[in-house]
Chain A
């Protein structure tokens, strides 16, 4: 084989590798969606963040507008502090609300932003005041069970009086 031919083959090999990398980066991964754009940072404090993770999506009306970058615990108030980056093209009013929601029944948790009515927008670095914590399944079941027990207790106490005599 001539030297030229080998060089052409190696060039094709390297080019193929680059094409594979471009495919992996653009088609099979998230380069180009969120992360490369211009963003600003806001914070929100939650009583309970549930299973929220770093890099979880931030959505408004279901549309991806940013990502969670950092999660920490405020040592004074024992609240979870969620730091998120939002794309600069999306500006939200100052009184917007942040909720921790779940995609589907068993899906990942994400931050949902609901726009408020204030004229001023959230400035970079500001904290969202209105938040709603994640729904923790154990608490929910606990509430349901105590609710059941209460109504059953009330029903049980009423039953002898109202029921037909034996």
Chain B
């Protein structure tokens, strides 16, 4: 009986947490139109979230493109199909790696800084002070960051895929000597703009919203202590990574189930 009660308590606590997060998300969405009126705040957040993540995204994309091209070349050259390398690198980047790896990096680079920032604002009672001055902190502080993440994430994912393909081109065409015409033309016949590139962008939009909302929620709900902020920052990375990987499976199943 005691066990059963404990199970019930855990389940109720879980549901309460989800409900809390859902209401937080609804509040955030409701505050979003108001924050669009102060566009300067949004621009500053796109700069903080997007521009500052650019270096790590571009460097990782280039490295992933290099390595994918090399490995695919070793595998494909035994079948005499090295020209298909571009197609494989392109499809894996545009469909999966671009959105997913960019989102994981985004959670690590931008999500943590959002959580720490909001958490410290909460710990320093800045959010409470705003409320006392009849300023809605959700509209003034949180919503511009949500829009910033919503705008930045697709751009970062696109750039990740684009630079990865360029990296593959450098390795395959310039270093190994795969024929450039075949490299591009096989890619162009095999990749569909709407089905592959478009769905990749849809994924990255979803991941951007997930990562940003998780980061903001963790920051907003943090305990107002140094340990609390540290714990919330860690949880941001863990929870958003798990959400991204889980949602990626769901979205892939929905998008690419029919050939």
Contacts and interface: CB of A to CB of B under 8 A. Distances in A.
Interface string B18-57: 0000000000000000000000100110110011001000
A13 B50 contact: yes
Given A7-B43, A24-B94, A17 B189 contact: no
B165 interface: yes
A13 to B, nearest CB: 5
Nearest to B43: A10
B158 A14 contact: no
B159 A16 contact: yes
Given A6-B43, A7-B43, A16-B159, A28 B188 contact: yes
Contacts of A21: 158, 162, 197, 201
A20 B94 CA distance: 12
Tell me if B's interface is mostly helix, strand, loop or mixed.
Answer: helix
A23 to B, nearest CB: 5
A30 B190 CA distance: 8
A55 interface: yes
Interface string A94-117: 000000000000000000000000
B206 interface: no
Given A53-B259, A55-B192, A10 B46 contact: yes
B155 A13 contact: yes
Contacts of A53: 259
Interface residues of A, number: 25
Nearest to B168: A28
Interface in A1-39: 3, 6-7, 9-10, 13-14, 16-17, 20-21, 23-25, 27-31, 33
A145 B193 CA distance: 45
18 contacts: A6-B47, A13-B46, A13-B47, A17-B154, A20-B155, A20-B158, A20-B159, A20-B161, A20-B163, A21-B197, A21-B201, A24-B158, A24-B161, A28-B184, A29-B94, A29-B193, A29-B197, A33-B188
Interface of B: 40, 43-44, 46-47, 50-51, 54, 90, 94, 151-152, 154-156, 158-159, 161-163, 165, 184, 187-189, 191-193, 196-197, 201, 259
Interface of A: 3, 6-7, 9-10, 13-14, 16-17, 20-21, 23-25, 27-31, 33, 53-55, 57, 64
The 6 tightest CB contacts between A and B, nearest first, are A17-B155, A20-B162, A29-B191, A31-B193, A20-B158, A29-B193
